Structure 1
Amino acid sequence: MNMRQDVAAGVIGVSENFLGKVERGGETVQWGLLFQVMQELGLKVSVEVPDEIAGETRAQIVRAFNKPAMTMSPSTSTSSSDDLGRLMFAIEKSLSDKAR
């Protein structure tokens, strides 16, 4: 996008360090901030789940998001809930698009 990393980070509202981790494919970035970066850059995530495993995939995602939420502070678990909602919405949209 021809934008310096420090400028982009300031516009998006994240640290330059965080944006650098995203660009390098860091394995420990926060989902909420990652979605914020993607939204500000106009990027969208699409999840396609095969029908035969959709139910189990939903259950695994819910378990994965709920497990860390038990050890986090209430403000962090709210962020996890928001992330889970976004992910579940993407899965549901993918399934409904396939049904058409």
Structure 2
Amino acid sequence: MSSEASLSTFKLLKTDRLVVQADESALQPTHHLWNNRGTWWCHLTVRRACGQDQRLRFSLKTKIQDVAIERRDKVRRALAQQQGTVVVGNSPAAVQYRERKKKP
């Protein structure tokens, strides 16, 4: 499964941004994943320019958890590269990230 094929199924605008929690590295490795009757699925959130969030849900087409994690990471990297990201949350890491982005 290529990440490009997954992204092409969604109608994304150039102004849409992947929503990222600043402290996601501390979360469980299966964050954004769930197992539905043996097949791993992923859900991500994209923020529209108007402020609305769109949830993306798609099958990772695997029954193996490690493969699902790799595919989720690949899709997230491609989406972040193609669309950009927006960091949410009020943790110190989120505030620090937003401050860094403000500097020229």
- TM-score, with length taken from structure 1: 0.31
Quick check: which has more Rg, 1 or 2? 1
Query: Which structure dedicates a bigger proportion of its chain to helix?
Result: 1
- TM-score, with length taken from structure 2: 0.30
Query: Which structure dedicates a bigger proportion of its chain to strand?
Result: 2
Q: Which has the higher contact order (CA 8 A, sep 6+)?
A: 2
